[in-house]
Structure 1
Amino acid sequence: MDPRSVSSWSQSNVTLKTREPLTALAVELRIGLTPGVKETGHWQTRPAGDFTATVREEGGFLVYSWVLRPGRTLPVGEHVFAGRYNHADGGRDAAMDTYRTEATSATGASEAVVWGDFAPVR
């Protein structure tokens, strides 16, 4: 969760750190439709023209998706993908929220799938 989140609005961030340039990348952020959840925007640290970005409701989730466009390359570095949304006042439980990324390196020698959730570490 982004530290700028407040009692009725949140931003969930997925931060990727790459050691090789990527020629294929898909990022999906799933936000559980807890009371009052409504999409208010999204962004990424790379230029918007590098990605096809969509937001939809599906199966009890607000789903943010970013796909690197063909012919584009994601350089080595740290990259953030963020989904923003309103929710019922008083904060919200992020236990249902998840992310998933799939990537292929520019050389094609390396592929990775990474997923997880935003539940507190116990």
Structure 2
Amino acid sequence: MTGPRRDPDGELRARLREAAGVHRPDRARILARVKRGRAAEDQGAARPRLPDWVRVAGATAAVAGVLVAGGCAVASVVRDDAPARHPVAAPPGSRETGSREAGPLWSRGAVDPHSNEFWAQSNITLGTSTALTALTVELRVAQTGSVTSTGAWRSLPADDFTFTLDERDGFLVYRWTLKEGRTVPAGEWVFAGQYNHGRGGRDAGGDRYSAAATAASGPLAVRGGFTPGG
């Protein structure tokens, strides 16, 4: 035979009820805790807690200060690293020659700084503040000895121009002519002629360029030379 089954959960509940019946709370200790809690609240009231938005604003201002201080250095670096506005520059220590008029068309001529003792490139930078309906650009490179063309390019679309290369009167002549019905938009544009030459630094003092254009206001023209010794 087996005896009656034990009920652990029932025994636990009976013991808890018995303990609860004999427990007497310590009223003095409870009252003391309440008094201490109220005193702490009174001290906190003397030093009011800042609203959340004030704390957030303070933190934001601190972060903004750091960003502003760092931003000065970043702006300086970006400004120093920014590319030059004009894609063409004269060799170091030289001056550019060209034409700046009161009208909408201006120009600048310079020997490309990447030229070397055997090869050179002459750059014509043409600027216009209005659309051009006709344009002819001519580059004349003086035959200073063993000067032979190695090519030419322009920053405007090739299909918009007819290009010719001749040698006459002691010059290598590069000519770009805008095709009928095409236009040159306002902006800054480069026309460049490339050529080999005799070994050593070549004197570009005898080189010349010119440009004739037509705009809504009428005919326009510029001309100039190139920096010697490029």
Task: Provide the secondary structure at the position in 1 that maps to 2:200.
Answer: coil
Counterpart pick for 1:8 among 102, 118, 124 = 118
The answer to whether 1:102 aligns with 2:212 is yes
Q: Partners of 1:116 and 1:96 in 2: how far apart?
A: 11
**Other-structure match for 1:114:** 222
Q: Report the CA distance between 1:117 and its aligned residue.
A: 1.0
In structure 2, give the amino acid aligned to 1:118. Answer: F
Task: Provide the secondary structure at the position in 1 that maps to 2:159.
Answer: helix
So what's the TM-score if we normalise by structure 2? 0.50
Between the two proteins, the alignment pairs up a number of residues equal to 118
The structure carrying a bigger strand percent of its residues is 1
Give the 5 Å matches for 1:26-65.
26-65=136-175
- Runs (4+) off by over 6 Å: none
So what's the TM-score if we normalise by structure 1? 0.93
Q: Partners of 1:27 and 1:40 in 2: how far apart?
A: 18
Q: Report the CA distance between 1:53 and its aligned residue.
A: 0.6
In structure 2, give the amino acid aligned to 1:71. Answer: G
**Other-structure match for 1:89:** 199
Counterpart pick for 1:67 among 163, 177, 180 = 177
In structure 2, give the amino acid aligned to 1:64. Answer: Y
In structure 2, give the amino acid aligned to 1:15. Answer: T
Q: Partners of 2:222 and 2:156 in 1: how far apart?
A: 20
Which of structures 1 and 2 has the bigger CA Rg? 2
Identity of aligned residues (%): 53
The structure carrying a bigger helix percent of its residues is 2
Q: Which has the higher contact order (CA 8 A, sep 6+)?
A: 1
Deviation per residue, 1:85-118 (Å, 9 max, x gap): 000111211111000000111x2x1321111111
